Amino acid sequence: MASFLIVEARFYDHLNDMLVAGARAALEAAGHEVDVLTVPGALEVPGAIAVAAESERYDGFVALGVVIRGETYHFEIVAGESARGIMALTMDGLPIGNGILTTENETQAIVRADPAQLNKGAGAAEAAMALLALQERFA
């Protein structure tokens, strides 16, 4: 059994509830312990994971959130920089499943977040578990 931390960017409550439910269900079905940490937005997710990793309390991480395109360039910055931060941590050896959705509209986000549809929260949890297993294989 491993311990996972779900770090969620709590901007769209109803969408995040679905993402967290999917991720939690996947991790718990695999027999893992799960904690959830909430941060204001997607840009804060990599920093929160980095701080939590220093505690050595968690074996893996799941990054969740939703970024919906708006009328300004802010979407590209948030989507790109949150992904870059998560990838940098992953390249440093942290097993992180990236479930930060970047969509054109809320309808797309609902389809991806809903556990009864695409269930991207579970997909991110599965990616984190796969990376942890790979890490253990090559340890």
Which residues belong to the active site?
A: 74
71 is in an annotated binding site: yes
Residues contacting 115, CB < 8 A, separation 6+ = 18, 21, 22, 25, 121, 122
57 is in an annotated binding site: no
CB neighbour class for 99 (10 Å; exposed up to 12, middle 13-18, buried from 19): buried
43 is in an annotated binding site: yes
To which residue do tokens 């960017």 refer? 9
77 is in an annotated binding site: no
Whole-number Å distance between alpha carbons of 137 and 131: 10
61 is in an annotated binding site: no
42 is in an annotated binding site: yes
Annotated binding-site positions for (2S)-2-hydroxy-3-oxobutyl phosphate: 71-72, 112
Annotated binding-site positions for 5-amino-6-(D-ribitylamino)uracil: 11, 42-44, 66-68, 98
Annotated binding-site positions: 11, 42-44, 66-68, 71-72, 98, 112
